[in-house]
């Protein structure tokens, strides 16, 4: 097949996943990338050809109403026109199928409206979380700002649903995401789990476990760092806590990421209804147990009391689990050993790509 991949993802798990799907698909297919974002040389190597259509979004830091209004109106219009241009380029090159990823500007991208070829939309998040989720909606607004926020969310929901409806096939990354997609959009979806490179993310017993707790994510409410922050004062141990925040000290090197996993005694995952999450399976591949909240997609990857611990979303539960693992190093090590076995058996990229390939081929063959 001749596959056109589209994404405008920020640095993070979804973009890393896309950059893993592509080179594995490229073993048997032509895989070109279309994006509005800058690429690293390593990313470009993942694709047969790359086409960059630059899009510069203004940064809104709050209180500047002119920038906010621009982003919610003119900027979205410009983005839609750019997506139309990209779709025209894809349509003219006669690809067999488009494999579309999310947009950091609107979740479900406009490009789905303009493609004349079959499209598969990989829905990393089961809905436009910045619009649908109550936890990220601002509180204590003035009447004028409240009206603006409600109007903006109404418009963005409309655009998101309009774009979503145009995808030929929807793919979810977890059973939890499938349920949320059905609830939000009224559509069924295919399931294609993400994977991990088990030949790269491996244990290394020669590396000292000098990090007590590792957190990887952001300070945004959706990533749930506040839960860990509230749990820390309840822990009697003097922790060596390492936090990797996307806003401050994010690293793009997989080698550095692997080194952190290997050094950690445990990885804490606190995302609010996280649809899937690469961090748990990457940590487990490195033989590191995971402590995760028992919600979203985490229960599909973390096996409580076998590869880690699943907890309720309370600071007390998190503090207790961290303290227990630190005081039971033999059990923590056993969790890590079992975690590695589970990943090798069930969470490889090879299996993920084989599943995705079937979905792409079926969608292309059934397209009318």
Percent of the chain clearing pLDDT 90 (strictly above): 76
Query: Taking 90 as the threshold, does the pLDDT of residue 100 lie above it?
Result: yes
Query: Taking 70 as the threshold, does the pLDDT of residue 137 lie above it?
Result: no
The per-residue pLDDT for range 26-44, each reduced to its tens digit, is 999 999 999 999 998 989 9
Q: Is residue 207, in this structure, part of any structural domain at all?
A: no
User: What is residue 58's DSSP assignment?
Assistant: P
| 157 and 181 in a common domain | yes
| 162 and 33 in a common domain | yes
Q: Is residue 32, in this structure, part of any structural domain at all?
A: yes
| 172 and 312 in a common domain | no
| 259 and 236 in a common domain | yes
| Domain range enclosing 151 | 2-195+349-366
Query: Taking 80 as the threshold, does the pLDDT of residue 130 lie above it?
Result: no
Choose between 298 and 140: higher pLDDT. 298
Number of CB atoms found within 10 A of residue 28's CB:
10
| 147 and 68 in a common domain | yes
Number of CB atoms found within 10 A of residue 253's CB:
9
Q: Is residue 202, in this structure, part of any structural domain at all?
A: no
Q: What is this structure's pTM?
A: 0.88
What pLDDT band is residue 16 in, cutting at 50, 70 and 90? confident
pLDDT of residue 101: 94
The per-residue pLDDT for range 202-247, each reduced to its tens digit, is 999 999 999 999 999 988 888 999 999 999 999 987 899 999 988 7
Phi, psi at 20, each rounded to 5°: -95, -40
User: Rounded to whole angstroms, how far apart are CA atoms 14 and 275?
Assistant: 11
Q: Is residue 200, in this structure, part of any structural domain at all?
A: no
Whole-number average pLDDT of the chain: 92
Phi, psi at 241, each rounded to 5°: -95, 130
Q: Is residue 248, in this structure, part of any structural domain at all?
A: yes
Query: Taking 80 as the threshold, does the pLDDT of residue 140 lie above it?
Result: no
What pLDDT band is residue 134 in, cutting at 50, 70 and 90? low
| 336 and 325 in a common domain | yes
Range in 21-25, 52-56, 235-239, 344-348 the model is least confident about: 235-239
Query: Taking 80 as the threshold, does the pLDDT of residue 12 lie above it?
Result: no
CA-angle at 159, arms to 156 and 163, nearest 5°: 140
The per-residue pLDDT for range 312-353, each reduced to its tens digit, is 999 999 999 999 999 999 999 999 999 999 999 999 999 999
Which is nearest to 274 in space by CA: 13, 21, 22, 18? 13
Q: Is residue 203, in this structure, part of any structural domain at all?
A: no
CA 25 from centre of chain:
19
């Amino acid at each position: 097949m001749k596959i056109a991949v589209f994404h405008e993802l920020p640095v993070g798990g979804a973009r890393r996943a896309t950059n893993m799907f592509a080179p594995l698909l490229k073993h048997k297919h032509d895989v070109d990338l279309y994006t509005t974002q800058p690429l690293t040389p390593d990313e470009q190597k993942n694709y047969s050809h790359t086409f960059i259509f630059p899009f510069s979004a203004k940064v809104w830091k709050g209180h500047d109403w002119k920038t906010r209004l621009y982003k919610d109106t003119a900027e979205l219009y410009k983005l839609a026109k750019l997506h139309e241009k990209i779709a025209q380029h894809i349509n003219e090159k006669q690809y067999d199928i488009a494999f579309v990823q999310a947009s950091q500007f609107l979740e479900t991208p406009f490009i789905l409206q303009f493609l004349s070829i079959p499209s598969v939309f990989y829905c990393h998040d089961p809905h436009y979380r910045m619009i649908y989720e109550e936890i990220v909606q601002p509180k204590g607004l003035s009447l004028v700002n409240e009206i603006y926020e409600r109007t903006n969310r109404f418009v963005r929901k409309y655009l998101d649903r309009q774009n979503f409806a145009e995808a030929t096939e929807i793919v979810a990354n977890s059973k939890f995401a499938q349920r949320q997609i059905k609830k939000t959009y009224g559509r069924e979806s295919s399931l294609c789990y993400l994977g991990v490179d088990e030949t790269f993310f491996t244990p290394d017993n020669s590396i000292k476990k000098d990090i007590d707790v590792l957190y990887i994510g952001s300070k945004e409410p959706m990533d749930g760092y506040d839960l860990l922050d509230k749990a820390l004062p309840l822990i009697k141990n003097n922790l060596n806590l390492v936090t990797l925040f996307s806003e401050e000290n994010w690293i793009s090197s997989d080698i550095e990421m692997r080194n952190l996993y290997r050094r950690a005694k445990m990885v804490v995952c606190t995302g609010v209804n996280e649809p899937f999450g690469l961090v748990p399976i990457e940590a487990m591949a490195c033989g590191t147990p995971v402590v995760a909240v028992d919600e979203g997609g985490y229960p599909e990857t973390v096996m409580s009391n076998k590869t880690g611990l699943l907890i309720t979303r309370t600071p007390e539960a998190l503090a207790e689990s961290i303290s227990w693992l630190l005081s039971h190093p033999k059990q923590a090590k056993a969790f890590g050993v079992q975690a590695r076995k589970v990943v090798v058996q069930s969470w490889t990229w090879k299996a993920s790509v084989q599943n995705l390939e079937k979905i792409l081929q079926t969608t292309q063959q059934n397209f009318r």
